[in-house]
Each structure stands twice: as C-alpha cells, then as structure tokens.
Structure 1
Amino acid sequence: MCEDSTMVSPSGAVVEVLDSTTDGKKYITSEELQKHNKPSDLWISIQGKVYNVTEWSKIHPGGDIPLLNLAGQDVTDAFIAFHPGSAWQHLQKLFTGYHLKDYQVSDISKDYRKLASEFSKAGMFDKKGHGVIYSLCFVSLLLSACVYGVLYSTSVTIHMLSGALLGLAWMQIAYLGHDAGHYQMMSTRGWNKFAGIFIGNCITGISIAWWKWTHNAHHIACNSLDYDPDLQHLPMLAVSSKLFQSITSVFYGRKLTFDSLARFFISYQHYTYYPIMCVARVNLYLQTILLLCSKRRIPDRAYNIIGTLVFWTWFPVLVSCLPNWPERVAFVLVSFCVTGIQHVQFTLNHFAADVYVGPPKGNDWFEKQTSGTIDISCSSYMDWFFGGLQFQLEHHLFPRLPRCHLRSISPIVRELCKKHNLPYTSLSFYDANVTTLKTLRTAALQARDLANGAPQNLVWEAFNTHG
C-alpha cells in the first residue's frame, strides 16, 4: 500500500513521490522521471534507482551529450555498455533516494546484461592481446618507409607510393585512436588519453576531443537522423528522404537545411559518393579546428591544440621536401585517397541500415544497435584492414571490448539476435558497397522527384522509402 506525496527537487521542480510503507523506499514513476530531461534538471535511472546527474553532466568524462540524449529515462543497458565495473561505486553520491516504481527489464535486456557480466567475469574487457603492439610496429614501419621515400628518392613513383603508405598508416592509426578513445588500447585511463592525443592529434591532425564528442553521440543515438552526427552530411549526402524536411540537428543545434543547393548535390550523390570520401579528410581537419576554437567545454583543450599544431608542423615540412608543387599536391591527394577507403568503411556500417527520427530510448538499447548497424564479413586475415570495426554490431553492444575478442563473440551475438527475432546484418565488402550505393541512389531520385510536386513524391515514398 502506497501513499502519494510531493517533494521539490533541487532544481525547484515538483516531484510526485510514492512512499511505500512495506519496504521503506520512495518511488517515482517513469512518467515523472521523464520530466527531468533538461540540462538544468537532469535525472536518469540505473537498475531502477534514480540519480540526479545535473551537475555531473558538466564534468562527465564522456561529455554531456550522452546524458542529455538519454535524460529522464532508465539507461541501465547504455551504462553497462560504456562503463567498467569500478564506475558503479561512484553512483551512490548521485542517488536521489528514489526508485522507479514501474521499472521493468525486457527479456533481451536480461540476456544482454547476462552476456556483459559473463564477458566481465572472464576478464575479456581487460585482455587486450598483442594486437596493439603489432599495429604500432606496422604503423612505425609504414611511416618510416614514407619518410625514407620522400627524403632519399628522386623517383616520382616512389614519392606517390610514399603518399599511399602515409594514407595506409593514417588508416591504421585511426583504428588505434578509436581503441584509445574507448579505453581499449592501454591499461590505464591516463595512458589511453595520452595515446589518443599523440596518435590522433599529433600524427593524423584529427583531434581526439572532436572524435569523442561526435563518437559518443553516435553510439548513444545510433542512426537517429537528428541526434546522430554521423548521418548529418547535408548538403553533400543524405541517406533518407526524411532529411528533406530540413530537420533540426539536436547535436549541432541548427537546422539541416535542404535547399536547392542541397537538392542538386543529393541528386547526384550516388555518383559523387566515392570522390567525396577521397577528400573527406579535409572536413575532419576543419571540424577539429572549429571545435578547438569554439566556446564549448573541451577536456584537455590545451593538449589537443598542442597536438594538432605538432601535426601541422611535421606534415607541411614533409610535403615541402618534395621537389616541386605538382608532386606535393599529388602526394597529398594520394594520401587522402588511400585514407578515403576508411571513410567508405565507416559509412558502410551505417548508411544502408535503418534510420529513425527522434531521441534514443534507454529501454530498446539492444534493438536500436541491431537495426542501425551492418557488419562486414571477411576472413580473419583481413581483420587488420578493418581494425575490428567489421564487427560493428558487436562493437556497438560492447564498445569497451578490445577488438581481439570481437570475432569470437560474433556467433554469440548472432544467436542472441536470432533468439529475439532481431536483425543481424552481415554483408561482404562488395555487397555492402552495392547496398550503400542503392540507398544513396534511392534518396537521390527522391530528391529529384521533389521538383515534380508532392503527389508523385508521396507515391515514391510509399514504395521506396528507406529506414
């Protein structure tokens, strides 16, 4: 038997509390919890216990975006995915004293949490293997060969080959930076942070702070058109006609305008896709500079700026060692084009998957990851080429799991998806490219069709809409 009462939260909001006389606990409903979804009044629930993370969001190591995107919800599955066991001890100081009255756990969440617990007990999150050492040696060899070819050869062919080796090195470094960003690479948080800045900012020129900012949002809101920045590429690319409604990007805080210029580019995106990927690196440099110069709170801003300046010192010096401007331009373009393969890899994992509009929900974590990701099937000897991210669903479900374990857990995840009648999409590299191009072509034809009036477009939507 419960008696209703009210109380005032620290932000001044009135909270309806249900005082249980049987167990002595205080309860609120999910409906009441949902009201606390603003930066100034931010509550979440983990395993039915309600926490006030309003102030914590300002210093949260993963940034405020994940907390804001899941505000007012039970976030147990997401919390398990992103945090080690040691994080649980820090929750108590944020506990409001209230529990979620209607807290329930779905069957798929029970299975997911059981899996995560088994992996943890087996020590899989801590066993990183020797892949990092092999990758570092491989990257060092590539960079050394590149520098040697530029400095000690007069052959144009060798210079272009050196540019290709630099691009390949950047690809492998990006995978290492990804591992460091997820705290998979090194044994401690501090060393992972150092590795991220060194190999990210210093060697590639792409800020690890920018990567974390966007990547954490991507993981939380996988394939949400208005919450996931990895799908927000107007005016150049659009994976769904839903973007033609000029929806507002919650991540960037601005409207994704679909105007005549965007319609023109989108109409031909299935032709321009690969050329865009070849120079996509330029956009990442620009995004890094814009973030580091912004007024946003950026962890380790000074270190990120110094690391970026290191890159913009050694890279121009290396390029200047080439004998003439045509070779310098060609060298840069070759390195960018080779790295463009990786940009294609990243988009294959999500562009052709299902999309949706709206915020992510904490109670369908597993479902959203399965519908929004595509694995790339390949032989084990090609794992180095994909950096483990060919197991995209496995990585999204267990982002802290070192890449050396992803292949071994793939059959387990596949069976879990089959058990709960959820999609497990795994395509060959070729088929993934074809499917992505079909998705882009469908949106391109829909963009062209918009100029012919709404009725015709609605028919097209009915038969061809994606996501």
Structure 2
Amino acid sequence: MADQTEKKYITKEDLSKHNKPGDLWIAIQGKVYDVSDWIKSHPGGEALIVNLAGQDVTDAFIAFHPGTAWHHLNSLFTGYHIGDSQVSEISRDYRRLAAEFRKLGLFEKKGHVTLYTLAFVAALFAAVLYGVLACTSVVAHQIAAAILGLLWMQSAYIGHDSGHYVIMKNKSYNKFAQLLSGNCITGISIAWWKWTHNAHHLSCNSLDYDPDVQHIPVFAVSSKFFSSMTSRFYDRKLTFDPLARFLVSYQHFTYYPVMCFGRINLFIQTFLLLFSKREFPDRALNLAGILVFWTWFPLLVSCLPSWPERFFFVLTSFTVTALQHIQFTLNHFAADVYMGPPTGNDWFEKQTAGTLDISCTSYMDWFFGGLQFQLEHHLFPRLPRCHLRKVSPVVQELCKKHNLQYRSLSWWEANVWTIRTLKKAAYQARDAANPVVKNLVWEALNTHG
C-alpha cells in the first residue's frame, strides 16, 4: 500500500494537454512517458508519435514493438501514472491475445519463408536474364517481362516483411535485405516505404491522415475529398479542382489502367523523398540502392533489339505488377473511412473497420505475400506471414465476440466492392458538378448504377 500512496497521478485530460512539439507525452499501461526528445530518434518516424501524443497508446505500442523495446521506456518515465484510465474489454482481449502469441514464440518463429522467397527471386532474375540475353523471339522477351513483374512483386514482399520485423539473423543483415529487395531490385526506396507505411498502419483509412487513401486528383474513395481537405501526412492541401473532378468522375473506368502504371508513381515518390530536405536515416545507402536499380534495369532493357520491344517489355512488366497494386487497394478502398487523427483507445476497432481480407487457398499464400490476411497483419504487424493463416480463426472469434465485422472476400468480390465504392464517389462528383438531372438516362445511371 505504501508504494501505491507514493505514486503521482494525473488525469487523461492532463495528459491530453501534452500533445505539441517540444511537449509530447504518452501513456503505456498506465505509466506516463515524455517522448519530446526521443521523437527524433524514433525508428518509426516522428509522425507516429505526434499523431498519438497526449493519449494512451498501449495497444499501438504492443502491436509495433518487440519485448526488448519495453526496457527503453524506463529512461522516459515522468514519474506520473494515469489515475482515471479505463481499459475496454476488447483492448484487454487484444493484449491477452498478443501475450499468448508471444508466449508461443510466434513473433520469433519465422519459418523459412524468407529463404524460399529469396531463392525464388534469384531464380526469377536468372530466367529474366536468360529470356532477354539468350532468346531472340518477341514472345520470349514478353515472357521475360512478365517474369520480371512477378519478381518485383515477390521482392516487394521481402521488403515489406523486413520493414516490419527482423527476417534475417541481425539488424544489419535485415537492413541489407531491405535495401536489396526494395531499392536495388524494385527501385522503390525502403525509406519512403517506411515513412508512408508506418503512418498507414497507425491511421488506417483516416482520410486526412492515411497517405494510402489520398490519391487526389486521380482517385477519391469518399465525397469528403471534394471539400479540398488538408493532408495531415503530406502537410498540404488536396485540391479538388476541375481536373480532379473530371478524373474522379470516371475513376471506376480508369482504375485498372491506372494500376498498370502504378510503379511510375512509386518511382516519383521515391525521388521526391530522397532529394527532399526531409531528414530520414540512411539517405546515402538509399540513394546508392536506387542508383543500382537505375543501372541494371535500363541496361537490361537496352539489350532488347528494338525500341518497340523495349517499350512493350517495360509495359508488360509494369502491367503484371498492377496485380499487386490492385491487391493493396482492394484491402482498403472499400472498407470504412473516417476523418481526424488516430486514437489510442480503439486500436482493434479501427483496424477492423479499415481493412478487408481476401480469401484464397493456402497454396496461393506465396502470391499474396500473406497480405490477403490484411486484418491479421494490421493487428499484429510484427507477426511473420507464415503464422497469419493460423491466427485468422482466433481473430475471427474475437471479432464475433465483440460484434465487429470480419470481412473476408474472394478476389472477385473484393474487386466488385472496390469498383462499387469508386463508382459511388464518381457519381457524387458528377452530381456536385451538375446538380440538375439533365435526362432520364443520367438519372437511371445514378439511381441504379
């Protein structure tokens, strides 16, 4: 009892006032920590802490951090505890489930997925080189292009896994895997990926905080984008001008063609970050990795005999990777969205609302990289993909217990849901521009889709 009386307490309202740069406090399991200075050293970036500052972040901390991270909190402890904190029943269940997974060693048992995937990528790369350098037929070159697209997809999954947890023996090897699979092989900076992907996980499907749903002027998943909202992630206005209105009005038609050129946007985003004034770790290594990609890929393309073949080689390889871009959008475009910053006391609910799973047979897990279990991945981002199918029934039961949606759709159904979402927003964009229904055909289209 003596220890209890010596504790210093503050209220949740007191905690909420410490949410400005230079004065950032968070609470984890009832203890309050000052992260004002630590924010610059935070491996996950500044945005994550800023967005959750002044809140209890226990669930998010458990989701993103290994057990060793708890020891680093001691030096940040303010000496205060939250006196009026209440843990919801679903948060208790979530924490209990995470503890059970930890006891079972699931976060550490990674299987041999990385070894198999790396070997597969190496074999694919050899096949691409053979198809381009040793074959002369146009058909062989196109097959090589399709294989290259598949290679990029599988390499991206390695980059994704290594960004969430240590897939190699130590952190140095893990960083090498990131740079190799991301920068060197796919041409997409792992630094850019970490910057955006961490924010996406934390603020899943927040229209103004999640960069993965901010695609103005090309796409809008909600009519709320029509008010030209400000992106809190990019810190700029997402202007809904006449061009955006026109493109969004036909987005359900342009969705698949645009996905075929999705890699170009990723290349642009990579260069914008690498040559920006924004501070991020390993800038030189990221630049070197990108230089490797833009050396081997143009050289490979230049080995083809003519410009038409080179054009179609690049087009085919990009088009194959569209399958992955489509998959990523299927997981979120048709799910629930919200406005405002993420909150720390509804972690499970927000992840459930903002994600859709894609059902498939187990022998297709390699193709989806485990990310067809999107909800499971969002709830436990450090869980190796080889365990996602195993824990899926447990997550389903927890959702059922708390009356939360667990949506697992076939690939076809997920596409239908996504196109329906895009079509709805497209018609709303047209209606906003033309409030008066001009003819019965237009009215029928808007009524029945």
TM-score (norm 2): 0.96
Q: Identify the match of residue 108 of structure 1 among 82, 90, 95.
A: 90
Find the aligned partners of 2:436 and 2:88 in 1 and give their Cα distance. Answer: 41
- Report how far residue 453 of structure 1 moved: 3.6
Find the aligned partners of 1:21 and 1:76 in 2 and give their Cα distance. Answer: 23
The one-letter code matched in structure 1 to 2:364 is: M
The one-letter code matched in structure 2 to 1:447 is: A
- Report how far residue 101 of structure 1 moved: 1.3
Listed as ranges, the matches of 1:339-354 within 5 Å are 339-354=321-336
Matched, 1:296 2:278: yes
Whether the 8 Å contact between 1:183 and 1:189 is mirrored in structure 2 is: no
Matched, 1:254 2:245: no
Matched, 1:54 2:32: no
Listed as ranges, the matches of 1:170-319 within 5 Å are 170-319=152-301
Find the aligned partners of 1:175 and 1:169 in 2 and give their Cα distance. Answer: 10
Find the aligned partners of 1:411 and 1:441 in 2 and give their Cα distance. Answer: 33
The one-letter code matched in structure 2 to 1:312 is: W
The residue matched to 1:91 in structure 2 has which SS? helix
In structure 2, list runs of 5 or more residues that go unmatched: none
Listed as ranges, the matches of 1:133-148 within 5 Å are 133-148=115-130
- Report how far residue 189 of structure 1 moved: 2.3
Matched, 1:450 2:432: yes
In structure 1, list runs of 5 or more residues that go unmatched: 1-19
Q: Identify the match of residue 157 of structure 1 among 123, 139, 156.
A: 139
The one-letter code matched in structure 1 to 2:262 is: A
Between the two proteins, what is the percent identity of the paired residues?
A: 69
Whether the 8 Å contact between 1:69 and 1:360 is mirrored in structure 2 is: yes
The one-letter code matched in structure 1 to 2:21 is: P
- Report how far residue 190 of structure 1 moved: 2.3
- Report how far residue 394 of structure 1 moved: 0.2
Whether the 8 Å contact between 1:223 and 1:350 is mirrored in structure 2 is: yes
The residue matched to 1:285 in structure 2 has which SS? helix
Q: Deviations over 1:375-417 (max 9, x none)?
A: 0000001101100000000000000000000000000000000
Find the aligned partners of 1:454 and 1:421 in 2 and give their Cα distance. Answer: 41
Matched, 1:123 2:105: yes
The residue matched to 1:45 in structure 2 has which SS? strand
Whether the 8 Å contact between 1:267 and 1:447 is mirrored in structure 2 is: yes
Matched, 1:355 2:337: yes
The residue matched to 1:97 in structure 2 has which SS? strand
- Report how far residue 418 of structure 1 moved: 0.2
Q: Deviations over 1:260-280 (max 9, x none)?
A: 110000000000000000001
Hey, what does 2:363 align to over in structure 1?
381
Q: Deviations over 1:134-189 (max 9, x none)?
A: 11111111111001110011100100110000000000011111001102422322
The residue matched to 1:251 in structure 2 has which SS? coil
Whether the 8 Å contact between 1:222 and 1:372 is mirrored in structure 2 is: yes
Find the aligned partners of 2:437 and 2:139 in 1 and give their Cα distance. Answer: 55
Whether the 8 Å contact between 1:142 and 1:166 is mirrored in structure 2 is: yes
Hey, what does 2:382 align to over in structure 1?
400
Whether the 8 Å contact between 1:184 and 1:401 is mirrored in structure 2 is: no
Q: How many residues align?
A: 440
Find the aligned partners of 1:224 and 1:425 in 2 and give their Cα distance. Answer: 19
The one-letter code matched in structure 2 to 1:138 is: F
- Report how far residue 21 of structure 1 moved: 10
Matched, 1:75 2:78: no
Q: Give structure 1 regions of 4+ aligned residues with deviation exceeding 3 angstroms.
A: 453-456
The one-letter code matched in structure 1 to 2:66 is: P
Matched, 1:324 2:284: no
- Report how far residue 455 of structure 1 moved: 12
- Report how far residue 363 of structure 1 moved: 0.1
Q: Which sits farther off after the overlay, 308-317 or 23-32?
A: 23-32
Q: Which sits farther off after the overlay, 29-38 or 380-389?
A: 29-38
TM-score (norm 1): 0.92
- Report how far residue 452 of structure 1 moved: 2.6
The residue matched to 2:345 in structure 1 has which SS? helix
Find the aligned partners of 1:22 and 1:186 in 2 and give their Cα distance. Answer: 43
Find the aligned partners of 2:243 and 2:88 in 1 and give their Cα distance. Answer: 45
